[in-house]
Amino acid sequence: MPPTIGVFDSGFGGLTVLRELLEVLPGADYLYFGDTARLPYGSKSAHTVAKYAISSAHFLQERGAEILVIACNTATALALDEIKSAVTLPVIGVVEPGAQRAAEISKTRKAAVIATEATVASHAYEKALGARGIQSTEKACPLLVPLVEEGWIDHPVTEQVAHIYIDEVFRNGAKGADVLLLGCTHYPLLRAMLRRVVPAQVQIVDSAESTAKAVAERLQVPAAGGVGKVRCFATDSVEKFRRLGGRFLGRPIEDIELIDIET
């Protein structure tokens, strides 16, 4: 029997994690929960984020998930321990795998992290990198998420905004950094554009990709063997989820169910 993997996010960004999971574990079955009615999590307190994330985790466990992937940087940063305590499943967040990959490839032992304001304020990446002997500089890039959701992936305006942020990062504190860690699940969609903007000697680490590999290692199941089912659950507009979600997943999304998590 293929494993059933539950993937949770506050919205659409976690679909980039699901996209990477489908690459390394195409035969697994997936339950994706996007809490679109209650996003953004970044402006909410740690207590509220934990409450929302735990209710979503319970939902996925009840639907048969055997392992839970917290594909939300904010929920991972603010509530991972609470989520782990609330469910009986193995839980993997996006912060530790990304930090581990950055530590593996950095030669200067210095890294830059770009993320949302809430993730930067939590210093989750700074702590995870510091525990691995990596000095980090964090930078909040709040304009990038709405630009991605607008579909301006390769737009000159997005590249100009990214240039401003990236130039600030490497001018103010990240001198000598040879790794840039993408600490937001929206940012993988900008990877090709960021490659043009980021200094040539700096390697880019995508926490979505690192997380998928961590899940594959944890499950220790063969990558080959059939194509599993993908079911998505959203707490708001199925039509918007279908339209925006397909962009993040890189393929059309057919099976989406609207649910009321409050009841």
Closest CA relative to residue 215, chosen from 14, 41, 10: 14
Task: Report the C-alpha gap between 93 and 214 in whole angstroms.
Answer: 10
Q: Which residues pair with 33 in a beta bridge?
A: 8, 233
**Which one of 49, 99, 128, 184 is the catalytic residue?**
184
**Which one of 53, 65, 72, 94 is the catalytic residue?**
72
| Three-class DSSP labels, the chain | CCCEEEEEECCCCCHHHHHHHHHHCCCCEEEEEECCCCCCCCCCCHHHHHHHHHHHHHHHHHCCCCEEEECCHHHHHHHHHHHHHHCCCCEEECHHHHHHHHHHHCCCCEEEEEECHHHHHHCHHHHHHHCCCCEEEEEECCCHHHHHHCCCCCCHHHHHHHHHHHHHHHHCCCCCCCEEEECCCCHHHHHHHHHHHCCCCCEEEEHHHHHHHHHHHHHCCCCCCCCCCEEEEECCCHHHHHHHHHHHHCCCCCCEEECCCCC
Is there a catalytic annotation at residue 141?
no
Pairing of strands 230-234, 256-258: parallel
Is there a catalytic annotation at residue 232?
no
Question: What's the one-letter identity of residue 235?
Answer: T
Place of tokens 């890189």: 250
Q: Which residues are catalytic?
A: 72, 184
